[in-house]
Amino acid sequence: MGGIALLARESGVTVSGSDENIYPPMSTLLEKQGIDIKQGFEISHLKDLVEENENPEAINNTQVVVGNVMTRGKPVVEYTLNQNLPYTSGPQWLYENILRDKWVLAVSGTHGKTTTASILAWILEYAGLNPGFLIGGVPENFGISARLGESPFFVVEADEYDTAFFDKRSKFVHYHPTTLVINNLEYDHADIFPDLEAIKTQFHHLLRIVPEKGLVVINGEESNIHDVLERGCWTPQEEFTSENLDEAEVTKLTGEENTGWNTQYLNSDGSEFKVFFNGGLQGTVKWSLLGKHNVSNALAAIAAARHAGVPVKHAIDALSEFKGIKRRMELRGKINDISVYDDFAHHPTAIETTLKGLRENIGNHKIIAVLEPRSNTMRLGIHKETLAASLNEADQVLLFQPKGLDWKMDHVLDALAKKSSLHDDIDELITAICESAKSGDHVLIMSNGGFGGIHEKLLTALDTQNKQKAH
């Protein structure tokens, strides 16, 4: 919704909005663009607009764009309906006002949407195509999460979450992509989907609207995606796999057609790898991102960009200058050689792959994993049986029990044995990290929320501790 507000503002629309507990980087982005943000969902926020524009024509030119956090029964929703104010959903507004005449490149999947969409937008930018984009994060190469662009191409992060209280279809069916990436498919969003089959149905609805002239880029390692394809797909497909090929497999692959996108790792941490397409070596990627999951993200973006006309060599060159995304393994600071990272990981698979990527990069140095299970699915306890195993790569695990969590994390502590601890106070958690972290350690903080500003508070505490030791 913040990104849509930025696009509306860039389009010349006067924009204001309201939210609860908004935090950086989106809060600062909106403020820089002069978008008025009001705290909470008070009726007065809309009432003031109506009273300022008493003539019917002005009111008809005012549109309420409703986010999916809004539900029937909320006073602001009831006011909108009672006053017969024009309203729509974010995805519908985006299609009708921005995407209708665009070549849309949509990136979907349970994990990696933000990273892959950011990589794809950067590849198109590097190739001189000046794309528009709407991304659920802030790519460092752009410094903003959304822009209109100056070309027919538009990259959108395509989420399967539902659209609004009045439209229970997944957001992504509104986007009408010509190029579609499906990175992976697992059970998530337990607050709206009863099971994995319900999510597969939504992805099938998406496949049904991709045109014959389009392209569907899919992760060949994901059986759930193949299950969806078997329900019907009327669009050409290209598969990618980030499984590491050995020399014998490379030799066997050479010259074969229709093998899709493959890779051979030159560094085990995924920072350097060869790219193959249909049996032919395309080039070597050397970049700053880590992990097998990011190799997958890169291959998907290269394939999608190629469909839009970008030669693979240009895409590979672009990756060497890709700077990453805020809150995706973002190094927030280093104090006394203690590295503090911020990561958005919100699902056991994402947690596991992020930790493995870091481990491959830093070797035997100590990893201190700090986790806030904040997503709706985590809060419901859907992943509690697999959470401990996803944290195995960490040397020490500090779990934060937020208010409102529907389950106790005691059994996660038991599974992780002596290397874990549970905390319910941010200051206490910071003290525990400071007592444990030593020079050369890596502190990985994982949450899909603001986590009480823990990152800056921890860096300040480590700095204070370091200065005290110096005296």
Instruction: Quick: pLDDT tens for 367-411.
Output: 999 988 876 666 666 667 778 888 988 999 998 887 767 677 777
Crossing angle of the two packed helices 113-126 and 312-319, in degrees rounded to 10: 110
Cα→Cα distances 356→243, 273, 287, Å: 15, 17, 17
Cα-flanking dihedrals φ and ψ of residue 273, to 5°?
Answer: -155, 155
- Residue-level pLDDT at 379: 63
pLDDT at 294: 92
| The two structure tokens encoding residue 205 | 């609805």
pLDDT at 376: 63
Q: Give the per-residue pLDDT at 5.
A: 94
For 69, other C-beta atoms within 10 Å of its C-beta total: 12
Q: CA–CA separation, 90 vs 292, rounded Å?
A: 33
- Predicted local confidence at residue 107, as pLDDT: 98
Residue ranges of the chain with pLDDT lower than 70?
A: 52-60, 346, 375-383, 404, 406, 471
Model confidence, pTM: 0.79
Quick: pLDDT tens for 75-125.
999 999 998 889 999 999 999 999 999 999 999 998 889 999 999 999 999
Res 56: pLDDT: 60
Which residues are bridge partners to 105 per DSSP?
155, 179
Residue 189 and residue 178: Cα distance in Å, rounded?
Answer: 26
Domains of the chain: 2-91 (3.40.50.720), 99-319 (3.40.1190.10), 330-470 (3.90.190.20)
